[in-house]
Amino acid sequence: TERGHIANLEFPASQSAPYHANAELKIRDVTPVASEAAVTLLTRLNRAIESDPARAATYTDRFRELADALKPLAAQTDTPGAAAAALWMLSECHRAQGQFRAADAAFDAYLAALRNVYNHSELPDAYAAVARSLIGPTPNGSPTVTELIRSHTFADGTHPADRAWQACLAALADLHAAAPQEYEAALCATVKDSGIRCTPCAKRLAYATLEQQFPAAASRPDVASAAAKAFARSDTEKATALLTGALAASPSDAEKPSILFNLLMEQSKSVDTLEQAQATYDQLAPFGSDRKYASLTKTGLWHLADLYHRAGKPETALALVQQYVSTYGSDDFIDRLSARVRAEKP
């Protein structure tokens, strides 16, 4: 399965979101042992997966047997924690069999069931923990980056982690319905979350709410520049507008270099914004004298040289390559760019 085991029922405190530090991120009072038959099947299946993961996908009968044993547990109303645990495992069973619609339906039912497990103040953290656990690290040690790459194969907002974040944001709205300042702070915290397990979709949704309900917060340089990163893959125009707005809002000296660098990265995606990219680099370059920002100016210079190369201006590209080498020395990246420019030069 995606996480090595069919079920991962604990959400480590280290994965908790910053909204409610005291929330207990674990399905409490849950004994997934509500059915001895289900536990036996689960144990047998997990052992089989651990001993031979490559063959796990062929155990369709075992997955089906476990799913059949879980369905009655998932329908229980007197033990909401056990029902939620069963829905989580049922979703994994369906996914392992390639029944993705059924898996998604069970997962959505699991998210809804958590409302009967946690109290009102704990729900945002619970949903955030679920979302983070779906990105990694996984119990079997798979790199988080693997799931991050895989998430790009999903349509926007459809990955289970994205749906869990949507539930988290909805829970935040309910929790802070009478406390707009706290709601604003929670949304800003989501947008500015630097952890890789807070998905771009979650940040875009949080920022959209800020734009609608708290425009002053949305226009702050730190918030707008953080939101721009979430739009970088999906909407270059939006990301560029946010970064331009962040610069216009007089960011602090500590914030300005990274905003300029990220703006340069967006502008360097297209030769149509060559002049703007040059102007942005001219503003960024003076910060290179500070060691804290030298890597930004170095990388920015490489991208600017590459942009001139792609724009069909080899003379300027070579001049920038020489500037790079004289300032930072030679490396594989600049050597390869130099070779490409010289090879295509008339």
For residue 345, being part of any structural domain is answered with: yes
pLDDT score recorded for residue 30: 33
Q: How would DSSP label each residue in 6-35?
A: S---B--GGG--TT-TT---B-TT--GGG-
Residue 154 near residue 198, CB atoms below 8 Å: no
76: containing domain: 29-116
User: Which structure tokens are listed for 194?
Assistant: 């630097």
In one letter, which amino acid is 163?
R
How many structural domains are present in the chain?
A: 2
For residue 254, being part of any structural domain is answered with: yes
pLDDT score recorded for residue 32: 43
pLDDT score recorded for residue 22: 27
For residue 338, being part of any structural domain is answered with: yes
pLDDT score recorded for residue 7: 38
pLDDT score recorded for residue 340: 95
Residue 20 near residue 190, CB atoms below 8 Å: no
Measured between alpha carbons, how far is 325 from 310 in angstroms, rounded to an integer? 20
Give the domain-ending residue among 116, 150, 170.
116
For residue 8, being part of any structural domain is answered with: no
Measured between alpha carbons, how far is 177 from 245 in angstroms, rounded to an integer? 29
Q: What are phi and psi of 141, to 5 degrees?
A: 90, 5
Residue 168, Ramachandran bin (φ over 0: left; ψ between -120 and 50: alpha; else beta) = alpha
pLDDT score recorded for residue 17: 33
Measured between alpha carbons, how far is 77 from 14 in angstroms, rounded to an integer? 31
Write out the chain's pLDDT in tens, 346 residues: 333 333 333 333 333 333 322 222 222 233 343 566 666 776 766 676 677 766 766 777 777 877 887 787 788 777 788 888 888 888 888 887 778 898 899 999 999 999 998 999 999 999 999 898 888 765 555 556 667 777 777 888 889 999 999 999 999 999 999 999 999 999 999 999 988 889 999 999 999 999 999 999 999 999 999 999 999 988 999 999 999 999 999 999 999 999 999 999 999 999 999 999 999 999 999 999 999 999 999 999 999 999 999 999 999 999 999 999 999 999 999 999 999 999 987 7
The candidate with the shortest Cα–Cα distance to 87, out of 62, 104, 100, is 104
pLDDT score recorded for residue 201: 94
For residue 76, being part of any structural domain is answered with: yes
Give the domain-ending residue among 116, 149, 170.
116
For the chain, the C-alpha Rg in angstroms (whole number) is: 25
For residue 152, being part of any structural domain is answered with: no
Q: How would DSSP label each residue in 189-244?
A: HHHT--STTS-HHHHHHHHHHHHHH-HHHHTSHHHHHHHHHHHTTT-HHHHHHHHH
Which 3 state secondary structure label does DSSP give 154? Answer: coil
pTM to 2 decimal places: 0.80
For residue 91, being part of any structural domain is answered with: yes
Run of H or E residues at 83 = helix 80-96
Which 3 state secondary structure label does DSSP give 142? Answer: coil
Give the domain-ending residue among 116, 138, 155.
116
CATH number reported for the structural domain that contains residue 289 in this entry: 1.25.40.10
Q: What are phi and psi of 219, to 5 degrees?
A: -90, -5
For residue 135, being part of any structural domain is answered with: no
Measured between alpha carbons, how far is 45 from 50 in angstroms, rounded to an integer? 9
User: Which structure tokens are listed for 156?
Assistant: 């926007």
